[in-house]
Chain A
Amino acid sequence: DAGVTQTPRHEVAEKGQTIILKCEPVSGHNDLFWYRQTKIQGLELLSYFRSKSLMEDGGAFKDRFKAEMLNSSFSTLKIQPTEPKDSAVYLCASSSGQNTLYFGAGTRLSVL
């Protein structure tokens, strides 16, 4: 079985650009999460979907971050417009609703 797939692995953007990160969860998993990881803040939850319904929209990240899940096997995270402080690793994870969370390899975003 394939794990969680994230694309691209690396993204470089100019300040003000729009970028879209992609995630394919483990087949059959109903829960999907987007996290941001930085050295200073650690892992922060951006969005959480259960059966394609948005359960958590990340509070402070609502402004320029939008996650969507158009079908059960694909999710996107759009950042618009990007700012240098958005530079981080963006992680997608999925779960079957049990206790184990499966993470993708992440997308490393650099905003210049």
Chain B
Amino acid sequence: GQQVQQSPASLVLQEGENAELQCNFSTSLNSMQWFYQRPGGSLVSLFYNPSGTKHSGRLTSTTVIKERRSSLHISSSQTTDSGTYLCALGLNTEGADRLTFGKGTQLIIQP
């Protein structure tokens, strides 16, 4: 079965609303990363967050290991936040090898 599941598959919000993206994993976690991909663009790393909560501007990532989940919260969304958000599960505590990616959440922020 799939090791990394993301929900929802797509999300449409009005500008200014908050977005909550979920990532659930079925295996033991050693590392968790969140990436952002603009349509037709490359992936950009947002967070490396194997446990706990991290903040970056309007973004917050929370990983709860014992519950096997990680979330990405976007506050006061903007149209430029539109794109695909992917989480990736790593089997090693260091390095980026052998990442297993979820299929992503497509976020559309309408003006």
Specify which chain B residues have a CB less than 8 angstroms from the CB of A105 in the assembled complex: 41-42
Q: Does B108 contact A (CB under 8 A)?
A: no
Instruction: Fill in one digit per residue for A25-40: 1 if any B CB lies within 8 Å of its CB, else 0.
Output: 0000001010000000
Residues of A31-88 at the interface with B, using a CB-CB cut-off of 8 Å, are: 31, 33, 41-43, 45, 48, 50, 55-56
Contact of A100 among B42, B48, B98 (CB under 8 A): B48
Q: Which residue of A lies closest to B86 (CB)?
A: A43
With both beta carbons as reference points, the residue of chain A lying nearest to B50 in the complex is identified as A99
Minimum CB–CB distance from B9 to chain A (whole Å) comes to: 11
- Interface mask (B89-104 → A, CB under 8 Å = 1, otherwise 0): 0000011111101111
Q: B residues near A, CB below 8 A?
A: 31, 33, 35, 41-45, 48, 86, 88, 94-99, 101-104
CB within 8 Å of B: which residues of A?
3-4, 31, 33, 41-43, 45, 48, 50, 55-56, 91, 93, 95, 97-106
> Can you name 7 extra interface pairs (CB under 8 A) apart from A42-B86, A56-B97?
A31-B96, A31-B97, A42-B103, A98-B94, A98-B96, A101-B96, A105-B41
